[in-house]
Structure 1
Amino acid sequence: MAGRNLPPSTTALRVFLAVARLGSTAKAAGEVHLTQSAVSKQIQALEDHLGTELFERSPAGLKPTEAGTIYRPYAEAAIEQMERGARRLAERAAIGRPIRLHMIAIAGERWLMERFPEFAQAHPEIDVQFTNFVSENEIEEADLEIVHGFGPWQDRESHYLFGRRVALVAAPAALERLGGFARAADIQKMTLLQHFQMPTFWAEFTEAHGLRGAVPAHTVRYGYYSVIIRAAVAGLGVALAPRCYVAEELASGALVNPLGLDFDSATGCWLTVNSQSERSPALDTLVAWLCEEARRFEAAG
C-alpha cells in the first residue's frame, strides 16, 4: 500500500537520484546542498515510505538494489515532469502579462483590426490591449507604438511598416468639376485636404514634381486620415495619402490617382518598442507578426 502514496518530498527523490548516480552520500550532499546526515535521513525516509531498501551499503559506497534500480527511472520521470511544469508556468507568466499597443487611428482602421482576429486565434494566450489610456489620472506607457514619422529612432527599437509611397487622390467628379487634371501644376487650383501631423507631404510632392514654391488654392486640415479619405471621396478636395490607405477606394473607382502622380516620402508608419518594457516571448511573437503583416499590406497596396 505504501507504494501507492506520494513520496515524502521531491527532495527525497532528488537525493535518491544523486546518490544512485554518485554512489556516495558525501558526494550527493554537495550536489543537493544538504549535509551528509540530512542526505542519509532523506534516503531512510524514502526507504521507510516504500517499505524496501534502495541501496546496498559497502565500504566501496552505495549501489542501488534491485528495488532501487526499478524505482530509479520513475523517480527521474517524476522530477523531469515537475521541472517541465515549472518551466511551463514560468513561460506562461512571461507571456501572460498584457501587451499595451498604442497606434495612430488609421493604422488600426485600414490595416490591423481586420487582420488581428487571425493572430488572436493563433495565440489566445497573448493578451493585447489597444490603448494606453486608463483613466483621466493614470496613463500607462505603451509597450509597442505604431507611429508615423521620420524613423528609425536611435533610442528605441524601430521597424518600418508601410506608408512611404504617397499618392495624389481625388474623386472623379471633383476633378471634372474643376476642369480636369492635365498636369501636375493643376493641383494649385485645388483644395488640399491635409493631415495636420503630416504637413511635409505637400513640400515633398511639389519637390518631386518640379513645383517648388507652389501653393494650393485652399487648405483644409484634419486630425484623422479616415476623415480625409471620406472628404476626398465626397469631392471636398484632393489629398496626398499613403497608397496603402486608399487602395480600396482606388480599386473601386471612388478615388482616382490623376496622371499617376505620387512620390516616396521620407516619413512612414513605424513600429517602435519601448526599451523599458519587459521583453517576453509574447512581445517578440507579436512584433514579428506585425512586421510580416505590414510587409504583405504594403505589397498589396
Structure 2
Amino acid sequence: MEMNPRRLTPSMSSLLAFEASARTESFTRAAQQLSLTQSAVSRQVQALEELLGVPLFQRIGRRVVLTDVGRMYRRELAGPLERIRSATLQAIAFQAGGGTLHLAVLPTFGSKWLMPRLPEFHARHPEVLVHVHARTYLDLEESGMDAAIVVGDGKWPGVRAHHLVDEEMVPVIGPRVARQEPIRTVDDLLRYPLLQVVTRPTAWRDWFSKHGYTGDALKLGPQFDVTSHLIQAVSAGMGIGLVPKVLVEDELRAGTLVNAFAAQADLSGNGYYLVVSNNREAYAPFALFRAWLLGAVRP
C-alpha cells in the first residue's frame, strides 16, 4: 500500500511544537518559548499525533511525558532540526559576507600545524565558521568538503592548489634511546626498527637510497595509520621514525625527540597544499580563508 506523502512530511510548526514540548515536558513552557498560546501548542501536538496515528505523550497532570515512540521520534528529529537551524544561520550569514567552510585536513598536520594558527583566523573573521574534518584520503567532489589541505606534488586534476610549505623529511628518535647507542653513520641506523606510516611504504628505502645505502638490511618495523601515532611510538622508544619536519618542530625544540642522524632534513619533492575545486575558488568563506592562510605562511 502506498503511503500518503503528506503523512510523512508533517508541518514545521507541529514539529517545533512537539520538540519544545518534549524538551520542557510542558505545553505551557513550550508555548512561552515559541511565543504561542498553550492551546495552540496543544493543538499542534494533537494534530501531529493524529497524523502519525500514535500517541507521542502521556498527559500526567500539568506535565507531558514522552511515550516510547515519542522518545524515538524526538531522537530521530534532533539531528535534522539542528541541521535546518544551522543551514538557516549560514544563509543569514551570507548577508554579512560570512558563511561556513568545511575543510578536510590531514589529521597530524591539522593538530600540529593548523590548529595553533586557526584562532587567529576566527579572531579576524568571526563571520566565517570553519568546520575541520580529519581525512587521510579525500575526493572533494564525493566528500562534500569545500576545500582540503593535502600533501603531494601539487598536480591534481580539476582543483586549484595553493602551496603552503615544502615537505622536509627527518629521521627522529627518542633522546634516551639515542644516548644509549650514538648514531654517527647511516649504517648505525640499521640497528633500530624503522617505523612506518601505512601511506608511505617506500619512504625509508627512498631516504636510505639518497644517503648512499641500497642494501637490503633495513629492519622495517610496525606501521601506523596516522603520523601522530608513529611520533608517539618513537617517543616511547619503539624505534626510529621518518617524519615531515613540520610535524615535529615542537618536539625537536623541546628535546622530547632528536634528529637521529646529523644531516639536513631532506626535501621529499612533495609539499602541503590548500586545494579547492575550480568552481569553488571564488566562494566567499574560502577566499577569506585562503588569503589569511597564505599570508600566515608568507609573512
TM over 0.5: same fold? yes
CA distance in 1, matches of 2:166, 2:197: 14
CA distance in 1, matches of 2:236, 2:134: 33
Measured after TM superposition, the shift of residue 278 of structure 1 is 6.6
Return the match for 1:127 from 126, 129, 149: 129
Residue equivalent to 2:276 = 273
Residue equivalent to 1:67 = none
Cα offsets for 1:84-137 (capped at 9, x unmatched): xxxxx999348433111001111111011121111101101112121299xxxx
Measured after TM superposition, the shift of residue 243 of structure 1 is 1.1
- For the pair 1:193 / 2:208, whether they are aligned, the reply is no
The change in CA–CA distance for 1:258 and 1:121 in structure 2 (over 3 A counts) is same
8 Å CA contact 1:192–1:216 kept in 2: the answer is yes
More divergent stretch after superposition (211-220 vs 248-257):
211-220
CA distance in 2, matches of 1:294, 1:197: 26
8 Å CA contact 1:170–1:233 kept in 2: the answer is yes
CA distance in 2, matches of 1:214, 1:248: 33
Return the match for 2:296 from 289, 293, 298: 293
CA distance in 2, matches of 1:238, 1:118: 34
The change in CA–CA distance for 1:218 and 1:140 in structure 2 (over 3 A counts) is closer
Cα offsets for 1:201-231 (capped at 9, x unmatched): 2133112200124442232110111111111
Residue equivalent to 2:210 = 208
Question: Normalising by the residue count of structure 2, what TM-score does the alignment of the two structures yield?
Answer: 0.61
CA-based RMSD: 2.6
Question: Normalising by the residue count of structure 1, what TM-score does the alignment of the two structures yield?
Answer: 0.61
8 Å CA contact 1:194–1:220 kept in 2: the answer is yes
* Structure 1 segments unaligned to the other structure (5+ residues): 1-88, 134-138, 297-301
Residue equivalent to 2:27 = none
The change in CA–CA distance for 1:283 and 1:208 in structure 2 (over 3 A counts) is same
The change in CA–CA distance for 1:210 and 1:198 in structure 2 (over 3 A counts) is same
Measured after TM superposition, the shift of residue 150 of structure 1 is 2.8
Which secondary structure does the structure 1 equivalent of 2:243 belong to? strand
CA distance in 1, matches of 2:200, 2:297: 20
Q: How many residues are paired up?
A: 202
Measured after TM superposition, the shift of residue 244 of structure 1 is 1.4
Measured after TM superposition, the shift of residue 140 of structure 1 is 4.6
**What amino acid sits opposite 1:282 in the alignment?**
P
Return the match for 1:171 from 144, 150, 174: 174
* Structure 2 segments unaligned to the other structure (5+ residues): 1-90, 136-141
